[in-house]
């Protein structure tokens, strides 16, 4: 079995990102008191949309690039991403004085591409498949000496994303259930590692769209199961269109994640709308899936009194957001 990250590794990542990543708040989701029975479970939303780049990805990217040598940073870094990790790498590279080259699918939302370019990064477009992204990033790294900063299948990245779980348990030691979006698995594996180390009795649930349910299938099969890009491309949650979870994240998921549930496209849209109205937080579709699970798939979740859903990002296309609110 692959070596799993430890709590000290996550704590060291927290030290590296201190003062760069925001320690985001747990925002109460305000239910209608008239429609909520006394003693009903409460939901807190971990607002990672408030990060400098609008998503949790800054944690892993900055921690990974900060751990490089000065010589490695000077040569530059390369990554592949549909948007949020790319933006995080661009932000971290600029902050640490290095060049960033970003391999992005040609279907990436314009709002995310524009943010990357504004941070001074070079963007290389490829077909929207994991293979095309990985192969292009590897070729660029070999040709130019760039350090590769993977989006999820990397211990440094997992440790950085695990700081989300560290903060959740520190701020709410009584948390019972943590709901985490699943794309490539970096966030859920890091969060689960931190939560289980600090509060073993808490349960961690991965959440993904029904139209991109490769993590659900992987957990059932006992090994990573890939979905074709044509299938994952159907979901509105562009940040969760990854075709399969990474090998190292999956090793963490098998040990630390209690179950994976899915939500529909309509439920994602409804959750985005309710997050704005009931918490004043903007969520992109991927950022809303964990809250959607609490609101619309409660019967499939473990029982508990205190739930936390991770709002992983808020970089939503303006036109899509207008349509959702309408």
Q: Collapsing DSSP states into helix, strand and coil, what is residue 182?
A: coil
How many domains is the chain built from?
A: 2
* pLDDT, position 45: 98
Residue 129 lies in a domain: yes
Residue 311 lies in a domain: yes
Q: How far apart are CA 183 and CA 162, in angstroms?
A: 15
Closest CA to 260 of 234, 226, 290: 290
Beta strands in the chain (DSSP E): 26-28, 42-47, 77-80, 100-105, 122-126, 147-148, 177-181, 203-209, 259-263, 306-311
Residues 128 and 161 in one domain: no
In which residue ranges of the chain is pLDDT below 70?
Answer: 1, 31-38
Q: How far apart are CA 324 and CA 326, in angstroms?
A: 5
Domain that holds residue 269: 7-55+154-325
**CATH label of the domain that carries residue 143:** 3.40.50.1100
* pLDDT, position 283: 98
Residues 40 and 174 in one domain: yes
Cβ proximity of 269 and 324 under 8 Å: yes
* pLDDT, position 37: 66
Asked whether the whole model's pTM tops 0.75, one would answer yes
Residues 130 and 73 in one domain: yes
Q: How far apart are CA 229 and CA 234, in angstroms?
A: 9
Residue 2 lies in a domain: no
* pLDDT, position 36: 61
Residues 28 and 102 in one domain: no
Residues 228 and 280 in one domain: yes
Residue 1 lies in a domain: no
DSSP character at residue 217: H
Residues 96 and 228 in one domain: no
Both structure tokens of 190: 């890091």
DSSP character at residue 18: B
Q: How far apart are CA 13 and CA 45, in angstroms?
A: 22
Taking residue 31's Cβ as centre, other Cβ atoms within 10 Å add up to 16
Q: What angle do CA 14, 16, 21 make, to 5 degrees?
A: 70
Is 57 labeled as catalytic in the residue annotation? yes
Residue 17 lies in a domain: yes
Q: How far apart are CA 308 and CA 320, in angstroms?
A: 26
Q: What is the CA radius of gyration of the chain?
A: 18
Residue 174 lies in a domain: yes
Q: Which of 82, 218, 229, 312 is catalytic?
A: 312
Q: How far apart are CA 309 and CA 55, in angstroms?
A: 14
DSSP character at residue 183: S
Residues 170 and 286 in one domain: yes
In terms of Cβ atoms closer than 10 Å to its own Cβ (0-12, 13-18, 19+), residue 148 is middle
pLDDT digit string, tens, across residues 234-285: 999 999 999 999 999 999 999 999 999 999 999 999 999 999 999 999 999 9
Q: Which of 46, 49, 57, 82 is catalytic?
A: 57
Residues 76 and 211 in one domain: no
Strands 122-126 and 100-105, bridge-based pairing:
parallel
Q: How far apart are CA 325 and CA 193, in angstroms?
A: 35
Residues 110 and 185 in one domain: no
Is 196 labeled as catalytic in the residue annotation? no
Final residue before a domain boundary, out of 128, 148, 168:
148
Residue 72 lies in a domain: yes
Residues 176 and 290 in one domain: yes
Residues 197 and 142 in one domain: no
Residues 217 and 77 in one domain: no
């Amino acid at each position: 079995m692959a070596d799993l990250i430890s709590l000290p590794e996550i704590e060291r990542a927290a030290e590296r990102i201190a003062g760069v990543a925001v320690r985001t708040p747990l925002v109460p989701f305000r239910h209608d008191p008239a429609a909520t029975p006394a003693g009903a479970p409460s939901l807190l939303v971990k607002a990672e949309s408030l990060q400098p780049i609008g998503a949790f990805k800054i944690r892993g990217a900055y921690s990974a690039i900060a751990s490089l040598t000065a010589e490695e940073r000077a040569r530059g870094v390369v990554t592949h991403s549909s948007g949020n990790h790319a933006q995080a790498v661009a932000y971290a590279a600029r902050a640490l004085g290095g060049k960033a080259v970003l391999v992005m699918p040609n279907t990436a939302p314009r709002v995310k591409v524009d943010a990357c370019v504004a941070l001074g990064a070079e963007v290389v477009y490829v077909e929207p498949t994991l293979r095309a992204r990985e192969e292009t990033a590897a070729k660029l790294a070999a040709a130019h000496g760039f350090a590769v900063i993977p989006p999820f299948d990397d211990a440094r990245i997992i440790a950085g994303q695990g700081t989300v779980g560290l903060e959740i348990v520190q701020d709410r030691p009584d948390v019972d259930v943590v709901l985490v979006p699943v794309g490539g698995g970096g966030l859920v594996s890091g969060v689960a590692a931190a939560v289980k180390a600090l509060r073993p009795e808490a349960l961690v649930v991965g959440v993904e769209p029904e139209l991109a349910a490769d993590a659900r299938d992987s957990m059932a099969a006992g090994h990573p199961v890939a979905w074709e890009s044509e299938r994952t491309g159907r979901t509105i949650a562009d940040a969760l269109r990854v075709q399969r979870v990474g090998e190292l994240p999956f090793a963490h998921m098998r040990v630390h994640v209690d179950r994976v549930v899915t939500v529909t496209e309509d439920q994602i849209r409804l959750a985005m709308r309710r997050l704005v109205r009931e918490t004043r937080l903007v969520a992109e579709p991927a950022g809303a899936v964990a809250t959607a699970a609490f609101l619309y798939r409660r019967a499939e979740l473990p029982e508990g009194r205190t739930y936390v859903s991770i709002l992983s990002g808020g970089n939503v296309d303006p036109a899509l957001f207008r349509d959702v609110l309408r």
